[in-house]
């Protein structure tokens, strides 16, 4: 189940119960939260990614068939968001794992093959029938080299699936057989896990590919997946409009700078009531309106009843000489 956030109404309902205001019988329905499966990718983007991973499965099926000489029947079983620790703890020990750097991302990706699939590929590539017999263990350097083309084709198809969002350059880092030694990613970081299942070849087994979301979340929050140029920078007009709608109600500090003067410490200490400080601004000069300390507009001070007002200038921002009737 995907992680969900409580709405304001749901929080208010819970607070009323805790304060004794309601018995809880008419509470808004609150869904359970699954902390092991974070909700970092919006549902529409996740659905688009699922389609792209299904396309990647078809690409892997074609590439692997040409390598081993039989149809592997690769299908996407599921695509899910998980905490890295959850993904790591689900792997059997020992495991047949491969770690890949995915530049420009800082965190690597993980590919974990079922041993039955790995051994079947090795046997087939070495001229055997692809029986896939054997217990889980550390692979020899020769076995890793034999599997290299299979592993590279799987990773390449995933790079193609992510090409819409970011250009990735994969490079092999190391193998891993003990899941707890997967330490390149923090345990609470989110990963997107694509799980694949095989058909006729090594039937019932498969492999998993975990992609780090750190560094991709910003693109996945707003990136549209429908007919834009791949080289176009990510834009989010709907999100900007929503942000502007929320920002217009934010309070900011506004002040008027009348003028400045440079005084020595001695002169400041000598100031008394009635003394005059000469400012650097001529009487006829327009004044600055400062927003959060930065000058933005020009105008003049006037009086309205018992209060001072600041009238903005038009055009150049300078108000023409005009006597205020209240002055």
Q: Which residue has the higher pLDDT, 132 or 269?
A: 269
| Arithmetic mean of pLDDT, 137-161 | 94
Work out the pLDDT band at 136, boundaries 50, 70, 90: confident
Q: Do residues 91 and 206 lie in contact, with contact meaning Cβ atoms separated by under 8 Å? A: no
CATH number assigned to the domain comprising residue 186: 3.40.1550.10
Same-domain status, 220 and 284: no
DSSP code at position 179: G
The whole-angstrom separation of Cα 215 and Cα 167 is: 12
Q: What percent of the chain has pLDDT over 70?
A: 75
Residue 249 has pLDDT above 90, yes or no: no
What confidence score (pLDDT) does residue 296 get?
A: 85
Q: Which residue has the higher pLDDT, 243 or 143?
A: 143
Helix (H, G, I), strand (E, B) or coil at 276: coil
Same-domain status, 215 and 294: no
What confidence score (pLDDT) does residue 82 get?
A: 93
Beta strands in the chain (DSSP E): 75-83, 96-103, 109-113, 169-176, 190-197, 206-212, 254-257, 287-291, 294-304, 307-312
- What order do you get walking across the sheet with 287-291 strand by strand? 254-257, 287-291, 294-304, 307-312
Q: Domain range spanning residue 326? A: 253-260+280-327
Q: Which residue has the higher pLDDT, 224 or 217?
A: 217
Count CB-CB contacts under 10 A for residue 254: 12
Residue 154 placed within a domain: yes
Same-domain status, 115 and 201: yes
The whole-angstrom separation of Cα 115 and Cα 40 is: 31
Domain count of the fold of the chain: 2
Same-domain status, 98 and 196: yes
Cα dihedral across residues 279, 282, 287, 288: positive or negative: negative
Range of weakest confidence among 21-25, 191-195, 293-297, 299-303: 21-25
Residue 5 has pLDDT above 70, yes or no: no
What confidence score (pLDDT) does residue 229 get?
A: 43
Cα dihedral across residues 115, 121, 125, 128: positive or negative: positive
Residue 14 placed within a domain: no
| Arithmetic mean of pLDDT, 95-116 | 95
Beta-ladder partners of 128: none
Residue 118 placed within a domain: yes
Q: What confidence tens digit (pLDDT) does each residue in 298-312 have?
A: 888 888 888 888 888
Same-domain status, 144 and 284: no
């Amino acid at each position: 189940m995907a992680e969900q956030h409580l709405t304001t109404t749901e929080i208010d309902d819970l607070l009323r119960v805790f304060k004794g205001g309601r018995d809880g019988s008419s509470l808004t329905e609150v869904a359970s939260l699954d902390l092991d499966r974070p909700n970092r990718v919006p549902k529409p983007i996740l659905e688009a990614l699922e389609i792209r991973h299904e396309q990647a499965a078809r690409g892997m099926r074609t590439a692997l068939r040409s390598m081993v000489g039989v149809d592997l029947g690769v299908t996407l079983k599921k695509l899910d968001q998980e905490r890295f620790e959850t993904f790591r703890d689900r792997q059997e020990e020992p495991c047949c794992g491969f770690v890949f750097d995915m530049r420009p991302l800082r965190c690597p990706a993980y590919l974990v093959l079922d041993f039955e699939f790995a051994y079947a590929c090795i046997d087939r590539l070495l001229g055997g029938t692809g029986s896939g017999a054997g217990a889980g263990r550390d692979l020899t350097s020769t076995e890793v080299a034999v599997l290299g083309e299979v592993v590279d084709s799987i990773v390449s198809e995933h790079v193609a699936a992510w090409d819409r969002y970011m250009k990735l350059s994969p490079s092999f880092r190391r193998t891993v057989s003990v899941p707890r030694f997967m330490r390149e990613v923090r345990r609470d970081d989110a990963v997107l896990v694509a799980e694949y299942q095989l058909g006729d070849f090594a039937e019932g087994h498969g492999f998993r590919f975990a992609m780090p979301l750190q560094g991709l979340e910003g693109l996945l929050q707003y990136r549209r997946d429908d007919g834009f140029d791949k080289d176009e920078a990510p834009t989010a007009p709907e999100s900007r409009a929503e942000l502007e709608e929320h920002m217009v109600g934010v309070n900011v500090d506004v002040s008027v700078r009348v003028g400045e003067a440079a005084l020595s410490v001695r002169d400041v200490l000598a100031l008394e009531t009635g003394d005059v400080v000469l400012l650097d601004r001529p009487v006829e000069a327009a004044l600055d309106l400062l927003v959060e300390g930065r000058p933005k507009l020009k105008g003049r001070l006037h009086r309205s009843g018992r209060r001072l007002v600041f009238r903005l200038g038009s055009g150049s921002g300078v108000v023409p000489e005009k006597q205020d009737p209240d002055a």
